Each structure stands twice: as structure tokens, then as C-alpha cells.
Amino acid sequence: MRAVLHTREPALDDRWEDIVEATMIVPERSAYSIVEWSGAALGDATYLSAGSYRVRYSASGTDNAHPASTNFVADSDDYLLQLWPAPTAPDRVVKQTSSSAAYWHAYFSQQQHFTG
């Protein structure tokens, strides 16, 4: 997982299999970290100024990285998180090609408590 803070919206990179975007509101200058499911931080904290940010999550190799995959390859998945200042906008699926992304998009779209 890599995370990059941009000053403006970066160009889309078509090499990614799956891309989603959402808005993140930072109420006051705060430190943020990317953490694994276990809660372990993946790097140093990043300080963000108060405001509205767009967050783009891009992934590739997720189907083959799943242990239940018939084509399982350890460490074959790659992720990129990009943030930039932007007005609030609806969440959107930019690109979806993996079955892993299809599963999670369907799951969250059926959750009544999920507002994006």
C-alpha cells in the first residue's frame, strides 16, 4: 500500500484493475495513518489540514492474492491511495474488473447503514 497526498486531482492510471473514489472531511488539522486490519500502522502519520479531500483507492492483483483463489500468488496485490483537496462529491466506482471488487461493491451497496 502506498499513499500519496497531491495538491490537485491526479490523472487516472489505467493499469489499475479497480478504482473507487470517495470524499473525506477533515474537521481540524489532524494526523492520519493507514492501518492494516490488525490495527498495525503501515507507515508514519500524515498531517492533513482541515477541509474536504477526495480519496482515490486503486488496486490490482486482488483476485490472485486471495488464499481461496485457484491462481493464488502471495504478495501479488498492489494498492495506491491518493488524496487531494476537493469539494464534496458522491462516491463513485471508476473502474471494476476483479471479482473481489465486485463482491465488496455489492456487499456495501446492500448495507442500509452505509452512506459512503
Kindly report, residue by residue over 89-105, the tens digit of the pLDDT: 999 989 888 777 777 66
How much is the pTM?
0.74
β-strands 18-26, 92-95: how paired?
antiparallel
Distance CA 77, CA 88 (A): 29
pLDDT in tens, 26-81: 988 888 777 776 777 777 777 889 999 999 999 888 776 555 544 544 555 788 99
| Predicted pLDDT at 72 | 42
Please identify which residue in the block is written with the cell numbers 462516491.
91
Q: Which residue has the cell 495513518?
A: 33
Residue 8 pLDDT exceeds 80? yes
Between 47 and 13, whose confidence is greater?
Answer: 13
Distance CA 35, CA 44 (A): 10
